[in-house]
Structure 1
């Protein structure tokens, strides 16, 4: 009979893993959030148009998505430690390239840097699966959500630190506007990579595989292998779609909020501060209550929590889209947007992880991150053009409309049960 909880030695490894991931998520969260806070602003400054500013955010999202492909292969072959360090290393290089692009006034270099900066996002996302490798099924969503929650500290602090990093570099070294925050991102990613490389031993994925070893050769981890799981497993498919939906709506509205705020203000020195506060609250909504989403997913089942997330996303679009330039209402809308993302992310991730055996998880998880990234990249790319042509309220309306077809699929899907397995 399989025990409900891991044996004591595995439990200690899981506790150690969760603690390390908690710390590195804080560092990685700073790096990601700083880039989100000022990425659109610096690209509008370099290109002179808000449409291309949206494409910059899209570059980071699609970079994180495409980097999932080599990360999955490395993770499958060598374990979580190597995959996570590879992702953070990409983030370091990307942040340095963006900072260099500001010195050189090179928009193409900035786009390349934003693409590689997506590695930091990929690492933060893959870390939630590392937390689930050794988790008991009845606690999978909660333990996964703990790592998601840890990002709160770094992610909320990051946008607020952006003005400080910006002012420090400009005053002390006469650097260009917006370069300081990206140098801070590089430091955060580098520290996270060093800690993981040094202390993520033993590797949680390798331990999980040893506990479920059947003597058969494990399938080679790849996004293609994940696609085959997606096609034949209804529960896995629903989890992947839920995660992608939440990310699409979140990125579409969030990416253009800094530009919308900027267009309603006359003092450029105040724009970064206001954007930092609003996005800090948004990111708090994304991460701060994720353990609640995990607890509800374990107790109620994952499908109801996904539906709750969809309802919050629609409410967010309605609030932000009708806010005008009222910064308070925009902040409320962005908090709701973050909460909706959290519910779909935590419940969907737990659902797809529990839907397949351990040796097949990396491929499906990589496919989920790739799909999520493509959805977010599409949203980021189109959002700038929508705002340029029709305005921010129309962007919010269109984002809300995209929720409806997937809502029907989730509602009609059979309940996957509290454990999330089929």
Structure 2
């Protein structure tokens, strides 16, 4: 496939393994060894981030802070919203097709010799990204775990610092519903005698048990580092923790990154532990410049958030509750069939006046009619049902008044569909008006 395009490769990868998710490191580690990816570190510093929610925002803030301090960076994340290239960013720029194709060709050659090894779409993409990162060997690589932790393909690389953001129920078909067991799986990214940042004060006890068992250095939110609001400047906050040498340190007057503050504080602690000397002014720039599509992303009066489980939905609802209430807030909801739609609706319903239910495609899809029945069973008003996120957005655009807001949520697929609709329709999507950004008093 020497002349194959990126699209050709992605189509091939989707078809070549019998199942889309096949947890385990034996196959991916074998190919990584053949590629020489385990011979030496792929970057000067490596931070791996795992958790149920908050991984994407933590990675985005680590990247922005690293770049604000002049570091060369690479980030690997999943899934993507609109383009596969989003998964690999080098110095803040999405990877070009040619680099990704080169990576896939290297993976394929190693996969086939001396004896063929079967890889999933995600595993092949992960190894291709690691190969691309290793070609540059940046000063900071930030790797987001795709699913679980211990058996996720990303975990084939040893991190210098591990970060655990939150633990909640999601992907029950693969991780189960036992939070203690989920915690053990996420904690599998920890390494002996290397630091781990625990980015939530409500983690299952199993996470610390694993840390103690492997001898990882624990740095816990609320214990070893913390954040607090500052008086006098709205949205300003302070961070207290320890630098890489264990010395107490404080960062002041940090701007609100419009992302979870716990994750922002965890990013700072992780960078210190990765031997980055943080500068207060550079941290301010890093938080001011951070961008993460699909997380509290405002396009005019439309808010797009990929929240797809109750934990994420509760956070989203708490942020919406801080805003000046609009005349109406209409939710456009599309969810996969294996997600806890009841919990998501319960969390968001106090902030939503009516709903547009939309269908998603694929084997895990949930129809608009199924969502509508669920919404109405919880006393929610269903204003419309649509066959796709784009069709739902088109209908919603026609009925929104000037003082209304739209909330798009429930899945990466839902947000991606509406973002693509915005792009194709060429909707004039300015940033959130300052008049609606004020907090409740």
TM value normalised by structure 2 = 0.24
More strand, by proportion = 2
More helix, by proportion = 1
